[in-house]
């Protein structure tokens, strides 16, 4: 017995309809990597399909200030802060997957945005 492509496509759509997208953001790249690794490990243990972590572009924010308060306009100093982002997509999630995500403890300094 062979499966027709349309029957197979219906199975994929049924499984892929339950999609969770997680965005992680932090100023420290090691925290983002550890958090993403922890999320992927816990979600795979529940049997869901994980795509990622996908690195998103790093945003560098550069701020220039005068070194002195009154004179020496040409003397300036620059500060920069980089924000690192990762994207994780979870397909065919179950209630067990959502419970695992809710119980997960991540380090402080990581902003997590979850879309269902």
- What are 5-60's pLDDT values in tens digits? 444 344 444 444 578 899 999 999 999 999 999 999 999 988 888 988 999 999 99
pLDDT at 18: 78
Strand 111-115 to 49-66 pairing: unpaired
Give the pLDDT band of residue 82 (cuts 50, 70, 90): very high
Work out the average pLDDT over 65-79. 90
Where do the domains of the chain lie?
20-115
Q: Domain 20-115's class?
A: alpha beta
- What are 60-69's pLDDT values in tens digits? 999 999 998 8
């Amino acid at each position: 017995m062979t499966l027709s492509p349309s029957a197979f496509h219906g199975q994929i759509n049924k499984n892929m309809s339950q999609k969770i997208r997680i965005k992680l953001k932090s100023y420290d790249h090691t925290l983002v990597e550890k958090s993403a690794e922890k999320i992927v490990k816990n979600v795979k243990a529940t049997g869901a399909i994980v795509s990622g972590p996908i690195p998103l572009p790093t945003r560098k924010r550069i701020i220039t200030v005068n070194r002195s308060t009154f004179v020496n306009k040409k003397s300036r100093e620059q500060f920069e802060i980089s924000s690192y982002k990762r994207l994780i997509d979870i397909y065919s999630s179950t209630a067990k997957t959502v419970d695992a995500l809710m119980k997960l403890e991540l380090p402080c300094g990581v902003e997590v945005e979850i879309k269902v």
